Copies of this chain bind each other. A is one copy, B any other.
Amino acid sequence: MRVLIVEDEPNLGQQLKSTLEGAGYAIDLATDGEEGHFLGSTESYDAIVLDLGLPEIDGLTVLDRWRKEGKVTPVLVLTARDSWSDKVAGLDAGADDYVAKPFQTEELIARLRALIRRASGNASSELTAGDVRLDTRSGKVTRAGEPVKLTAQEYKLLSYLLHHKGKVVSRTELIEHIYDQDFDRDSNTIEVFVTRIRKKLGQDVITTIRGLGYSLEDPDA
Protein backbone atom coordinates (compact mmCIF):
# COMPACT_ATOMS: atom_id res chain seq x y z
CA MET A 1 0.00 0.00 0.00
CA ARG A 2 1.43 3.33 -1.10
CA VAL A 3 0.38 6.57 0.53
CA LEU A 4 1.16 10.21 -0.22
CA ILE A 5 1.42 12.67 2.64
CA VAL A 6 1.09 16.37 1.87
CA GLU A 7 2.19 18.27 4.96
CA ASP A 8 4.21 21.49 5.12
CA GLU A 9 5.23 21.32 8.74
CA PRO A 10 8.54 19.36 8.58
CA ASN A 11 8.39 17.76 12.03
CA LEU A 12 4.86 16.53 11.72
CA GLY A 13 5.48 15.37 8.19
CA GLN A 14 8.52 13.32 9.11
CA GLN A 15 6.82 11.90 12.14
CA LEU A 16 3.82 10.82 10.12
CA LYS A 17 6.07 9.31 7.52
CA SER A 18 7.94 7.11 9.98
CA THR A 19 4.81 6.13 11.86
CA LEU A 20 3.02 5.02 8.74
CA GLU A 21 6.10 3.31 7.42
CA GLY A 22 6.17 1.42 10.66
CA ALA A 23 2.60 0.41 9.95
CA GLY A 24 3.71 -1.11 6.70
CA TYR A 25 2.92 1.61 4.19
CA ALA A 26 5.21 2.94 1.51
CA ILE A 27 5.22 6.72 1.95
CA ASP A 28 5.96 9.68 -0.30
CA LEU A 29 6.13 13.01 1.43
CA ALA A 30 5.37 16.32 -0.26
CA THR A 31 6.09 19.51 1.65
CA ASP A 32 3.98 21.96 -0.25
CA GLY A 33 0.82 22.08 -2.31
CA GLU A 34 2.59 22.38 -5.62
CA GLU A 35 4.67 19.26 -5.13
CA GLY A 36 1.73 17.46 -3.53
CA HIS A 37 -0.52 18.17 -6.43
CA PHE A 38 2.11 17.08 -8.92
CA LEU A 39 2.83 13.79 -7.17
CA GLY A 40 -0.84 13.07 -6.62
CA SER A 41 -1.56 13.62 -10.28
CA THR A 42 1.32 11.68 -11.75
CA GLU A 43 1.98 8.84 -9.33
CA SER A 44 -0.53 6.28 -8.22
CA TYR A 45 -1.37 5.98 -4.56
CA ASP A 46 -3.76 3.88 -2.57
CA ALA A 47 -4.62 6.88 -0.41
CA ILE A 48 -3.54 10.46 0.25
CA VAL A 49 -3.22 12.32 3.55
CA LEU A 50 -3.65 16.03 2.91
CA ASP A 51 -3.13 18.92 5.30
CA LEU A 52 -5.39 21.84 4.46
CA GLY A 53 -3.14 24.59 5.74
CA LEU A 54 -0.40 24.73 3.13
CA PRO A 55 1.84 27.46 1.73
CA GLU A 56 1.78 28.27 -1.99
CA ILE A 57 -1.40 26.48 -2.90
CA ASP A 58 -4.12 25.84 -0.39
CA GLY A 59 -4.95 22.23 0.39
CA LEU A 60 -8.53 22.62 -0.67
CA THR A 61 -7.45 23.87 -4.06
CA VAL A 62 -5.20 20.87 -4.49
CA LEU A 63 -8.02 18.52 -3.60
CA ASP A 64 -10.38 20.31 -5.90
CA ARG A 65 -7.95 20.07 -8.81
CA TRP A 66 -7.43 16.36 -8.33
CA ARG A 67 -11.14 15.78 -8.41
CA LYS A 68 -11.55 17.90 -11.49
CA GLU A 69 -8.78 15.87 -13.13
CA GLY A 70 -10.84 12.80 -12.38
CA LYS A 71 -8.61 11.38 -9.65
CA VAL A 72 -10.62 9.08 -7.40
CA THR A 73 -7.87 8.22 -4.93
CA PRO A 74 -9.32 8.36 -1.42
CA VAL A 75 -8.18 11.48 0.42
CA LEU A 76 -8.00 11.91 4.17
CA VAL A 77 -7.92 15.55 5.19
CA LEU A 78 -6.17 16.98 8.26
CA THR A 79 -7.92 20.01 9.73
CA ALA A 80 -7.49 22.24 12.73
CA ARG A 81 -9.69 20.97 15.53
CA ASP A 82 -12.45 23.50 15.53
CA SER A 83 -12.61 24.81 12.01
CA TRP A 84 -15.94 23.39 11.05
CA SER A 85 -15.99 25.39 7.91
CA ASP A 86 -12.86 23.56 6.79
CA LYS A 87 -14.52 20.24 7.36
CA VAL A 88 -17.59 21.15 5.43
CA ALA A 89 -15.62 22.64 2.58
CA GLY A 90 -13.35 19.62 2.59
CA LEU A 91 -16.19 17.19 2.27
CA ASP A 92 -17.70 19.33 -0.45
CA ALA A 93 -14.45 19.32 -2.36
CA GLY A 94 -14.40 15.56 -2.29
CA ALA A 95 -12.51 14.47 0.82
CA ASP A 96 -13.36 10.99 1.96
CA ASP A 97 -12.61 11.44 5.62
CA TYR A 98 -11.12 13.99 7.95
CA VAL A 99 -9.11 13.95 11.16
CA ALA A 100 -8.85 16.96 13.44
CA LYS A 101 -5.47 18.15 14.69
CA PRO A 102 -4.10 17.35 17.13
CA PHE A 103 -4.82 13.67 16.69
CA GLN A 104 -3.74 10.29 17.99
CA THR A 105 -1.64 8.55 15.38
CA GLU A 106 -3.60 5.39 16.12
CA GLU A 107 -6.71 7.19 15.02
CA LEU A 108 -5.08 8.29 11.80
CA ILE A 109 -3.87 4.79 11.03
CA ALA A 110 -7.26 3.29 11.82
CA ARG A 111 -9.03 5.72 9.56
CA LEU A 112 -6.53 5.28 6.80
CA ARG A 113 -7.00 1.54 6.96
CA ALA A 114 -10.76 1.94 6.83
CA LEU A 115 -10.49 4.34 3.93
CA ILE A 116 -8.38 2.00 1.85
CA ARG A 117 -10.61 -0.93 2.67
CA ARG A 118 -13.70 1.01 1.71
CA ALA A 119 -12.17 2.18 -1.53
CA SER A 120 -10.99 -1.23 -2.62
CA GLY A 121 -14.28 -2.73 -1.54
CA ASN A 122 -16.38 -1.02 -4.14
CA ALA A 123 -14.04 -1.90 -6.93
CA SER A 124 -15.37 -4.61 -9.15
CA SER A 125 -13.92 -7.96 -8.24
CA GLU A 126 -13.00 -8.92 -11.77
CA LEU A 127 -9.91 -7.73 -13.55
CA THR A 128 -9.31 -8.82 -17.12
CA ALA A 129 -6.91 -8.29 -19.99
CA GLY A 130 -7.44 -10.28 -23.13
CA ASP A 131 -8.30 -13.79 -22.07
CA VAL A 132 -6.63 -13.43 -18.71
CA ARG A 133 -9.12 -13.10 -15.90
CA LEU A 134 -8.52 -12.46 -12.21
CA ASP A 135 -11.24 -12.50 -9.59
CA THR A 136 -10.15 -10.63 -6.49
CA ARG A 137 -13.00 -12.03 -4.43
CA SER A 138 -12.17 -15.67 -4.83
CA GLY A 139 -8.49 -15.13 -5.64
CA LYS A 140 -8.80 -17.22 -8.76
CA VAL A 141 -7.00 -16.67 -12.05
CA THR A 142 -7.89 -18.15 -15.42
CA ARG A 143 -6.45 -17.93 -18.90
CA ALA A 144 -8.88 -18.64 -21.72
CA GLY A 145 -11.16 -20.20 -19.16
CA GLU A 146 -8.47 -22.56 -17.87
CA PRO A 147 -7.80 -22.13 -14.16
CA VAL A 148 -4.20 -21.28 -13.33
CA LYS A 149 -2.69 -21.72 -9.89
CA LEU A 150 -0.58 -18.77 -8.76
CA THR A 151 1.34 -18.34 -5.54
CA ALA A 152 0.72 -15.37 -3.27
CA GLN A 153 3.45 -13.16 -4.72
CA GLU A 154 2.72 -14.06 -8.30
CA TYR A 155 -0.89 -13.18 -7.62
CA LYS A 156 -0.06 -9.81 -6.08
CA LEU A 157 2.21 -8.91 -8.95
CA LEU A 158 -0.31 -9.83 -11.60
CA SER A 159 -3.08 -8.09 -9.73
CA TYR A 160 -1.08 -4.88 -9.60
CA LEU A 161 -0.35 -5.00 -13.29
CA LEU A 162 -3.99 -5.60 -14.06
CA HIS A 163 -4.97 -2.66 -11.89
CA HIS A 164 -2.70 -0.52 -14.03
CA LYS A 165 -3.04 -2.18 -17.40
CA GLY A 166 -1.81 -0.21 -20.36
CA LYS A 167 0.55 1.73 -18.12
CA VAL A 168 4.27 1.08 -17.85
CA VAL A 169 5.04 -0.01 -14.34
CA SER A 170 8.59 0.36 -13.07
CA ARG A 171 10.26 -2.28 -10.98
CA THR A 172 10.52 0.18 -8.10
CA GLU A 173 6.81 0.82 -8.23
CA LEU A 174 6.09 -2.88 -8.11
CA ILE A 175 8.41 -3.42 -5.19
CA GLU A 176 6.83 -0.56 -3.30
CA HIS A 177 3.37 -1.97 -3.74
CA ILE A 178 4.01 -5.62 -3.26
CA TYR A 179 6.30 -5.50 -0.28
CA ASP A 180 5.69 -3.54 2.87
CA GLN A 181 8.54 -1.61 4.46
CA ASP A 182 11.54 -0.83 2.39
CA PHE A 183 12.92 -3.80 0.65
CA ASP A 184 16.36 -4.51 -0.71
CA ARG A 185 16.19 -2.56 -3.96
CA ASP A 186 18.89 -4.38 -5.85
CA SER A 187 17.41 -7.77 -6.06
CA ASN A 188 15.88 -9.41 -9.06
CA THR A 189 12.83 -10.96 -7.43
CA ILE A 190 10.48 -9.03 -9.65
CA GLU A 191 12.15 -10.47 -12.74
CA VAL A 192 11.91 -13.92 -11.22
CA PHE A 193 8.20 -13.59 -10.64
CA VAL A 194 7.58 -12.11 -14.06
CA THR A 195 9.30 -15.14 -15.52
CA ARG A 196 7.19 -17.47 -13.45
CA ILE A 197 3.95 -15.75 -14.35
CA ARG A 198 4.88 -15.89 -18.01
CA LYS A 199 5.55 -19.60 -17.64
CA LYS A 200 2.12 -20.16 -16.18
CA LEU A 201 0.06 -17.76 -18.24
CA GLY A 202 1.99 -17.52 -21.48
CA GLN A 203 4.83 -15.38 -22.75
CA ASP A 204 2.65 -12.75 -24.34
CA VAL A 205 0.83 -11.60 -21.21
CA ILE A 206 3.44 -9.24 -19.80
CA THR A 207 5.43 -6.97 -22.09
CA THR A 208 8.91 -5.80 -21.14
CA ILE A 209 9.72 -2.18 -21.81
CA ARG A 210 13.46 -2.09 -21.67
CA GLY A 211 14.92 0.40 -19.23
CA LEU A 212 11.49 1.38 -17.93
CA GLY A 213 9.65 -1.58 -16.59
CA TYR A 214 6.78 -3.84 -17.47
CA SER A 215 3.41 -3.32 -19.00
CA LEU A 216 0.28 -5.35 -19.42
CA GLU A 217 -1.51 -4.52 -22.64
CA ASP A 218 -5.21 -5.06 -23.06
CA PRO A 219 -5.90 -6.23 -26.60
CA ASP A 220 -9.55 -5.26 -26.15
CA ALA A 221 -8.67 -1.63 -25.64
Which chain A residues in 119-176 approach chain B with CB under 8 Å?
Answer: 137-139, 151-153, 155, 166-168
Cβ of A195 under 8 Å from chain B: no
Stretch at the interface among A10-18, A186-194, A204-212: A204-212
- Give A111 Cβ to nearest chain B Cβ, in Å: 6
A43 to B118, CA, bound (A): 11
A-side interface size class: 20 to 34
Is there contact, CB below 8 Å, between B42 and A111? yes
Please name all residues of chain B whose beta carbon is closer than 8 Å to the beta carbon of A168 when the two chains form the complex. 137-139
Measured CA separation A50–B70 after assembly (Å): 20
A221 to chain B, nearest CB (A): 10
Q: How far is the CB of A41 from chain B (nearest CB, A)?
A: 6
- Smallest Cβ distance from A218 to chain B, in angstroms? 11
A97 interface residue (CB < 8 Å to B):
yes
CB distance from A133 to the nearest CB of B (A): 15
Q: How far is the CB of A146 from chain B (nearest CB, A)?
A: 18
Closest Cβ of chain B to A39, distance in Å, is 9
Cβ contacts A103-122/B at 8 Å (1 or 0 each)? 00001001101100110000
Residues of A within 8 A of B (CB): 38, 41-44, 69-70, 96-97, 107, 110-111, 113-114, 117-118, 137-139, 151-153, 155, 166-168, 209-212, 215
Q: Known A-B contacts: A69-B96, A70-B118, A138-B167. Give 19 more (CB < 8 A).
A: A41-B97, A41-B114, A42-B110, A42-B114, A43-B114, A44-B117, A137-B166, A137-B167, A137-B168, A138-B166, A138-B168, A138-B215, A139-B209, A139-B212, A139-B215, A151-B210, A151-B211, A152-B210, A152-B211
